[in-house]
Structure 1
Amino acid sequence: MMSTTPIPFYILCGSLGAGKTTLLMRLLEHWKSQGKRAGVLMNEAGEVSIDGPRAGTIAEQVMNLAGGCVCCDTKEDLSWGIAQLVRDYESDVIVLECSGMADPAEVIDGVTDLYTARLAHLEKVIALLHPIPTDRDSMGGFVTKQAIRCADELILNKRDLYVPGHWETFKASITAQNPYARVWETSHARVEPSLLLEPIVRLSPAQTVNVEFGVPRPSATSKRASYHPIATTVRLPGPLNLVRFLSWMKTLPPELERAKGFFRFAKGPELQEFQYAPPGNATITPITLLDEPSHAIVLIGRGYDQEHCQAELLRCLENC
């Protein structure tokens, strides 16, 4: 099995034209000044990358995921790109700039895959927004709403272009959707990178949690909003009992939005891949991989009982 320490991974997402590439350039300058090798994944909806060459003037390596949306059309390329930046280019940190069409929740799903998570650890989701009229039912409206919901850092950009009353209304609409993220108000994406990249201080962190979103600001209550996604990694120290696991699959809570992982059954030599994405049924499929992944299952959802889900899953171990 491959042994490596996951490197920090950041997601930049948000509205089309909100200033994501401008912020990316500021982050790259910061990492370069610290002597870090930054790898960049650029996702652009067109077949040709426009912003990638700009980032390439500073970054150690830029990989373009052009020609589709990273949350669907080029999702497999995302995992491949992360692996290449870590293994071939020895990046110290990776940042993904999503197209304005990409659903951040789907991107999070991709980078929390157990196979990919051995290489890169999702540190933060940074969303850039600017106050433009958006139809909530349109693709842009949906993506913006998802970016707000998933963000750890909300950067409200282009303040210099709007009158105070309009800006305050815009800000209130954003914080109402996610009162737990830090909020930055700026123009030209002028945010101090060292402050933006400061690690999130989590209250009483559970060891099984590898991704948490919407950590409260110091002045806010410590209670987590029910709509903020939590990804819980349950590591499996041994093979599973087939009968008990099939029973566990029937008890998945309705708050669970995604589950995935790898393991083996006690009476079968094949590596198994587990996938669950409602409203579809959970599936178990034999799989052959080049590298043996960690045996674990990742649970992603909102408001579910983490401890109960973990305990019930661990009861499926053959030697439990």
Structure 2
Amino acid sequence: MLSIARDRFVGPGQISPEGRYVMKVDLINGFLGAGKTTFLINLLETKNPSEKVAVLVNEFGTVGIDGDLLTGHDANVVELPNGCICCTLKADLRNQIREIAEKFKPDRLYIEPTGAATIKNLLGILESLSLEKYIENIRVILVLDAGTFMENMEKNRGFVETQLESAQIILVNKCDKVSPEQLGLIREIIRKTNCSGQVLLTSFGQVLHRDLSEPAVLPETALNNVLSGNIGATGKHLHDLPLKEYEQFSVQSSNLFDVDRLRKFFGRLSDNWYGSVDRAKGIFRVADSQWVRFDLVSREVSESFLEKEYTFSKLIVIGTDLSKKLLNTEFMNCQKG
């Protein structure tokens, strides 16, 4: 199956015998709102200064927010917006990986797919794109939201188990949202599906790069099972299907925004005024040099003021049955003036 770096005596950041620059690849996978971007920012801030890093971030919306948040952390950041890299952006993914390897020559490439991506499809694409000349090995890191884990298991157990089985590192994030007893049950369920992966418990994505097991290359037997849909550790046939068919609304503006109006708007998003919203996020300029970030995850809204400035205010809403015209009107109404 994935014959990356087989029989090649060259490490990351070195030129391969074929004259290509090879790199390690970390796939940071996880459901919508699990905390992938926050976790990735922590990795970038705690990485070895001598390690050259690039990031390929995929947004489901037509505008990118995660790329803006990741920029400025001593890494080359490339955005791949307007779709899912495991569905509609296959050719773009290959071209971007090749360009990153040849242009930036990183030791490590982090790929953060949209939360709507399926790891089975993504690994299958990487297998089919003949990228072994650029990639030394692949490691799959799964970020889970402890607060929504049991709900996701109930809604689509096979999907969650497939994501678990494919990971070498499983980060259980937002542990502050559950009791110690619930956390113990989550660990027990994880171990029934994946008995060998490294399990890390944290909140706010706070994991240091040095805490991650290295190297942790996906075993070929596990990869074969994931790609072929074989029987998993639970004894059930694993189906790698998304939890639902998502749609998105995204927009950007150069105008100033009113914080109180934004709070009311995100409260209405949480109450499903504009359709069934699974995830919403935005960065907004509220004064000449002041920016605020809003996040809606699991019906909870959070806000934080940002230390750096951006070019545009942006909003992404992901869900089903979205009233896009009404969303656009409400977005405009949040602007000052």
- TM-score, normalised on structure 2? 0.57
Matched, 1:171 2:187: yes
d(CA) in 1 for partners of 2:206, 2:108: 21
1:48 aligned counterpart, secondary structure? coil
Matched, 1:28 2:44: yes
Please point out which of 219, 233, 246 is paired with 1:212: 219
Aligned to 1:77: 92
1:88 Cα deviation after fit = 1.5
Preserved contact between residue 24 and residue 136 of structure 2 (Cα < 8 Å): yes
Preserved contact between residue 135 and residue 141 of structure 1 (Cα < 8 Å): yes
Deviates more, 1:95-104 or 1:52-61: 52-61
Please point out which of 121, 134, 152 is paired with 2:151: 134
| Seq. identity, % | 26
d(CA) in 2 for partners of 1:90, 1:84: 9
Matched, 1:58 2:29: no
Aligned to 1:270: none
Aligned to 2:212: 196
Paired letter, 2:151: T
Preserved contact between residue 94 and residue 129 of structure 2 (Cα < 8 Å): no
Aligned to 2:169: 153
CA RMSD in angstroms, aligned pairs only: 2.7
1:5 Cα deviation after fit = 4.7
Paired letter, 1:12: I
d(CA) in 1 for partners of 2:31, 2:227: 27
Query: Which deviations, in whole Å up to 9, do the C-alpha atoms of 1:84-117 show, x marking residues without a partner?
Result: 1111122221000121111112211222346212
d(CA) in 2 for partners of 1:122, 1:99: 21
2:24 aligned counterpart, secondary structure? strand
d(CA) in 2 for partners of 1:101, 1:89: 28
1:199 Cα deviation after fit = 1.4
d(CA) in 2 for partners of 1:150, 1:143: 11
d(CA) in 1 for partners of 2:138, 2:76: 20
Paired letter, 1:154: I
Matched, 1:4 2:4: no
1:14 Cα deviation after fit = 1.3
Paired letter, 1:110: I
Distance 1:143 1:42, change over 3 A: farther
2:211 aligned counterpart, secondary structure? helix
Query: Which deviations, in whole Å up to 9, do the C-alpha atoms of 1:19-53 show, x marking residues without a partner?
Result: 1111111221233x423221111011111111111
d(CA) in 1 for partners of 2:50, 2:92: 27
Distance 1:99 1:145, change over 3 A: farther
Preserved contact between residue 82 and residue 120 of structure 1 (Cα < 8 Å): no
Q: Which structure is higher in RCO with an 8 Å CA cutoff and minimum separation 6?
A: 2
1:39 aligned counterpart, secondary structure? strand
Aligned to 2:280: none
1:56 Cα deviation after fit = 1.2
Preserved contact between residue 124 and residue 152 of structure 1 (Cα < 8 Å): yes
d(CA) in 1 for partners of 2:133, 2:158: 30
d(CA) in 2 for partners of 1:42, 1:23: 13
Q: Which runs of 4+ in 1 moved over 6 A?
A: none
d(CA) in 2 for partners of 1:87, 1:67: 24
Paired letter, 1:229: L
Preserved contact between residue 15 and residue 143 of structure 1 (Cα < 8 Å): no
- Superposed, 1:300-319 pairs within 5 Å as none
Please point out which of 117, 123, 131 is paired with 2:132: 117
Distance 1:81 1:94, change over 3 A: same
1:160 aligned counterpart, secondary structure? helix
d(CA) in 1 for partners of 2:58, 2:69: 13
Paired letter, 1:171: R
Please point out which of 175, 178, 182 is paired with 1:162: 178
How many aligned positions are there?
A: 211
d(CA) in 2 for partners of 1:256, 1:94: 22
1:155 Cα deviation after fit = 0.9
2:85 aligned counterpart, secondary structure? coil
d(CA) in 1 for partners of 2:61, 2:191: 32
1:70 aligned counterpart, secondary structure? coil
Preserved contact between residue 60 and residue 83 of structure 2 (Cα < 8 Å): yes
1:60 Cα deviation after fit = 3.0
Gaps in structure 1 of 5+ consecutive residues? 201-209, 214-225, 232-254, 259-320
